[in-house]
A = this chain, B = another copy of it.
Amino acid sequence: MESKLDQILKDYKEGLLSLEEAVHQIENRQSIDMGFANIDLQRKRRRGTSEVIYGASKTPDQIIMIARKLIEHGQTPVLITRLSADAAAVISQNLDLQYDEMARIGIIGEMPKPNGIGKIAVVTAGTSDMPVAEEAVKTLEFLGNEVERFYDVGVAGIHRLLAKLDKIRSAQVIIAIAGMEGALASVMAGLTDVPVIAVPTSVGYGAAFEGVTALLAMINSCATGISVVNIDNGFGAAYIASKINHQEVKS
């Protein structure tokens, strides 16, 4: 990452900036404060993608205002996660939103072409894990990845998983999504040699504790090569998986 600090210091030395201006620019160069939100305009440059809007606890109006500001500064496409169908309907009246109800994701602007190293496999234990899986899939596509889905291949009928194994092994990263006891992640890592990002889901009842059991199980996997994100966090798993799939040689 080239340092903006150099540039400001040079401008200042050359007299293009006063001391006060230099101090101010050093401290304030990266965000817009909207009062209720502080939009990060450097994230695309700094983190590789533009800021994502977490829709869960924002009003449609807040989302529209943030989205417009991002569009205005060229930070597109815009990804909105955890977006309810109702909020999506309101936003659609104001912006050109593509909404996926199962994934609870809205997208404004054109999706990029896949530009990663290879494919990412999204694997689920059951049909009920699909909303989380689709959140991951949409996020992966937004971040420029090719995705292959392998749904409902949990360990209750492990031959279903074995039958798909060769295809799964051809991915750069595996996102393993499961609720209940979350054994899929361990089995997945035991059978492959690529990084496995495990996503516990809130599928289950009773002592599944809304995904806590699956989370704990995945964190304690006896197999190696697994790391874990929050319960139902398809977005977060996609984000780190995409980073791996876009790995560049540093330094």
Contacts and interface: CB of A to CB of B under 8 A. Distances in A.
Interface in A62-114: 62, 82
Contacts of A191: 46, 158
A147 interface: no
A1 B29 CA distance: 22
A240 to B, nearest CB: 5
A203 B57 contact: yes
The complex is assembled from copies of this chain, and their number is 8
A210 B216 CA distance: 12
A35 B29 CA distance: 33
Contacts of A243: 193-195, 225
Interface in A178-217: 178, 180-183, 186-187, 189-197, 200, 202-217
A232 B159 CA distance: 29
Interface of A: 1, 3, 5-6, 9-10, 12-13, 19, 22-23, 26-31, 33, 35-38, 40, 42-43, 46-48, 51-52, 54, 56-58, 62, 82, 117-119, 125-128, 130, 149, 151-160, 162-163, 165-166, 169-172, 178, 180-183, 186-187, 189-197, 200, 202-233, 235-237, 239-240, 243-244, 247, 249-251
Q: What are the 10 closest A-B residue pairs judged by CB atoms, nearest first?
A: A206-B231, A170-B251, A227-B227, A57-B128, A183-B183, A181-B217, A38-B152, A40-B157, A213-B216, A156-B223
26 contacts: A1-B193, A6-B23, A27-B162, A29-B163, A35-B151, A36-B152, A40-B157, A42-B157, A54-B126, A117-B247, A119-B250, A156-B189, A156-B224, A180-B221, A181-B221, A181-B222, A205-B233, A206-B211, A206-B231, A207-B216, A207-B219, A207-B220, A207-B230, A212-B216, A224-B236, A247-B247
